[in-house]
């Protein structure tokens, strides 16, 4: 038994867990951080960072192949993508960032324990007993506990995942996976599937995507998906939608997936027409499962519903007073930045609770959550979608601007895509935005800030943007909401914002007076 009593023990050192640990330590809390694998969790070791590192390599290959001649760069000989070197660089980036996080944790005097953490008893009044099973078994006491154990790739028995030729994203991002298959079959056309399709296509693989739903990236704007599909088709990526994958088999020479039409009723699947797809390797990217097992939840009042820990959506406290949960494990949005944000909320509330305050200092607010997809072109989004708003009966006005009309984009040779901003027709309140094109996630960040603090689209349009920059996309799309985009041709301008309407009316009146004076002069 460790004699030290911790203010907060955090189980899981992913982006939510280590963020919470450092934040708590900044407020002079005594913190224990428990991690059974590597600091940084899925995001840093087997997710966000390694995929974006490989994406950067794939984008460089694309730029060399498609831009070098036009940009005046003569290349002698054949361009040979080297996936092994790209993986080596990916591993180096990951290792450096992991060591960086560990150094930050150490600098803040957070006690980092290596092992599997579980709650074995206790309460908010007596403190919680937490067992750590690693090289040695330890037991600590903490006044409050934050569960931040994340998620892992979802496994379906019929897919026969063998981690050799039928793989998960964990397998394909492992430090020693350096194979570029001749053909890669990807089951699942969500964010993970599309990002890997883009990467491996650039390194030379033939890509086949099988998607159960009527479209890949089903939660994105239709126009955005259409633009990406156009690019994927150009790259030779095959997409088959409405595909119900019944089984995946690893034969001696190939991986074979058997499907039927996803619209066939379940009781008619046996007699339905079957289609077989085959490849050298298969990536299963059908979602992720919350990591709730082995945490000792049975020793608490914590409720688990549909595999997720149930929390108060505002305070993030579980049914067991004094224990909080954040990130993927709670069943919310599976985004690293959500986990980090929730880490702050849980820490503030835990520290207030320890201090004996009855009021809640912070409540979680998910009204503005930006999201990114790193395909080429990149995708960024925030807020609501056009269809969902129309289905609600909300009267909206949309502004749109294409990269092809932007000076900086032309300079960069990045003319694909567009930005759209959706607003309330009457008030100009920004309800959502979606972008596909170069630096799309960065553009969405500005719009997210405007939404968070209630700026209207008119105020975005009145903000001076540096020229020439990609950020001018925001200016032009914002002005286009009311037909005022300078670099977009329109037959007729509709000025419905009070300020501009007033200017327009005064201009018309002045014009009428001038015409009368001119006629009198001629007479």
Q: What is the pLDDT of residues 397-433, one digit of tens each?
A: 999 999 999 999 999 999 999 999 999 999 999 999 9
Q: What angle do CA 33, 38, 39 make, to 5 degrees?
A: 45
Cα separation, 6 vs 351, whole angstroms: 12
> Which sign, positive or negative, has the C-alpha torsion 386, 389, 391, 395?
negative
For tokens 């409540």, name the residue: 363
Q: What is the pLDDT of residues 15-41, one digit of tens each?
A: 999 999 999 999 999 999 999 999 999
What is the b/e burial string over 163-184, where b = at least 16 CB atoms within 10 angstroms of the residue's CB? eebbbbbebbbbeeeebbbebb
Q: Are 261 and 272 within 8 A, CB to CB?
A: yes
Confidence of residue 384 (pLDDT cuts 50, 70, 90): very high
Beta-strand relationship, 151-153 and 288-290: antiparallel
- How much is the pLDDT for 480? 96
Q: What is the pLDDT of residues 259-289, one digit of tens each?
A: 999 999 999 999 999 999 999 999 999 999 9
Please report which residue ranges of 163-208 form alpha helices under DSSP H: 169-172, 191-202
Cα separation, 3 vs 275, whole angstroms: 63
Mean pLDDT on 315-324: 98
Q: Which residues contact 301 (CB under 8 A, 6 or more apart)?
A: 318, 319, 320
Q: What angle do CA 155, 160, 162 make, to 5 degrees?
A: 90
Q: Give me the phi and psi of 402, to 5 degrees please.
A: -95, 145
For tokens 């994203």, name the residue: 169
Cα separation, 286 vs 298, whole angstroms: 29
Q: Are 227 and 221 within 8 A, CB to CB?
A: no
For tokens 């001749």, name the residue: 182
Q: Are 435 and 413 within 8 A, CB to CB?
A: no
Cα separation, 318 vs 341, whole angstroms: 17
Cα separation, 148 vs 330, whole angstroms: 9
Residue 189, judged by CB atoms within 10 A of its CB (0-12, 13-18, 19+), counts as buried
What residues does 419 pair with on adjacent strands? 401, 435
- Structural domains in the chain, CATH included, are 5-152+289-354 (3.50.50.60), 157-286 (3.50.50.60), 371-492 (3.30.390.30)
Cα separation, 355 vs 349, whole angstroms: 10
Q: What is the pLDDT of residues 113-152, one digit of tens each?
A: 999 999 999 999 999 999 999 989 999 999 999 999 999 9
Name the strand (E) or helix (H) holding 24. helix 15-26
What positions carry a catalytic annotation?
Answer: 467
Q: What angle do CA 36, 41, 47 make, to 5 degrees?
A: 140
- How much is the pLDDT for 14? 98
For tokens 């600098």, name the residue: 107
Q: Give me the phi and psi of 163, to 5 degrees please.
A: 60, 15
User: How far, CA to CA in Å, does 443 sit from each of 31, 143, 152, 349, 440?
Assistant: 37, 42, 30, 32, 5
């Amino acid at each position: 038994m460790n004699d030290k009593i911790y203010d907060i023990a955090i189980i899981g050192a992913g982006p939510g867990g280590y963020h919470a640990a450092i934040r708590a330590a900044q407020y002079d809390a005594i913190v224990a951080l428990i991690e059974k694998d590597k600091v940084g969790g899925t995001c840093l070791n087997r997710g966000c960072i390694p995929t974006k590192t490989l994406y950067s390599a794939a984008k460089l290959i694309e730029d060399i192949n498609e831009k070098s001649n036009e940009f005046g760069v003569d290349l002698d000989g054949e361009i040979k993508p080297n996936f092994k070197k790209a993986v080596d660089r990916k591993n180096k980036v990951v290792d450096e960032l992991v060591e960086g996080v560990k150094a930050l944790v150490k600098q803040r005097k957070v006690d980092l324990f290596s092992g599997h953490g579980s709650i074995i008893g206790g309460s908010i009044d007596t403190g919680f007993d937490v067992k750590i099973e690693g090289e040695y078994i330890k037991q600590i006491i903490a006044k409050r506990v934050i569960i931040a154990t994340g998620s892992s790739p979802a496994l379906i028995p019929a897919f026969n995942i063998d981690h050799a030729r039928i793989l998960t994203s964990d397998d394909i991002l492992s430090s020693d996976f350096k194979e570029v298959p001749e053909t890669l079959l990807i089951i699942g056309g969500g964010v993970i599937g599309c990002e890997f399709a883009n990467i491996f296509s650039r390194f030379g693989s033939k890509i086949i995507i099988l998607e159960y739903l009527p479209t890949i990236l089903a939660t994105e704007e239709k126009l955005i998906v259409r633009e990406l599909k156009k690019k994927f088709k150009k790259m030779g990526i095959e997409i088959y939608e409405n595909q119900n994958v019944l089984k995946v088999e690893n034969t001696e020479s190939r991986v074979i997936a058997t499907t039927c039409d996803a619209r066939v009723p379940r009781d008619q699947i046996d007699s339905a027409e079957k289609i077989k797809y085959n490849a050298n390797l298969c990536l299963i990217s059908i979602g992720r499962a919350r990591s709730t097992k082995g945490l000792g939840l049975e020793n608490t009042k914590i409720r688990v519903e549909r595999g997720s820990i149930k929390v108060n959506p505002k305070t993030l406290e579980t049914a067991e007073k004094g224990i909080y949960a954040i990130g993927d494990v709670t069943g919310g949005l599976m985004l690293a930045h959500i986990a980090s944000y929730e880490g702050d909320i849980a820490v503030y509330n835990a520290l207030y609770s320890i201090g004996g305050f009855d009021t809640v200092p912070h409540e979680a607010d998910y009204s503005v959550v930006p999201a990114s997809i790193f395909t080429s072109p990149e995708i960024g989004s925030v807020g609501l979608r056009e269809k969902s708003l129309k289905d609600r009966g909300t009267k909206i006005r949309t502004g749109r601007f294409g990269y092809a009309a932007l000076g900086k984009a032309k300079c960069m040779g990045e003319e694909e895509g567009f930005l759209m901003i959706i607003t309330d027709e009457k008030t100009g309140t920004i309800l959502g935005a979606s972008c596909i094109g170069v630096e799309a996630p960065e553009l969405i960040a500005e719009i997210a800030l405007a939404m968070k603090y209630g700026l209207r689209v008119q105020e975005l349009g009145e903000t001076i943007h540096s020229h020439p920059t990609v950020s001018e996309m925001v200016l032009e799309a914002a002005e286009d909401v009311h037909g005022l985009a300078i670099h977009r041709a329109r037959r007729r301008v509709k000025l419905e914002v009070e300020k501009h309407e007033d200017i327009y009316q005064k201009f018309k009146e002045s014009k009428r007076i001038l015409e009368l004076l001119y006629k009198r002069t001629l007479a």
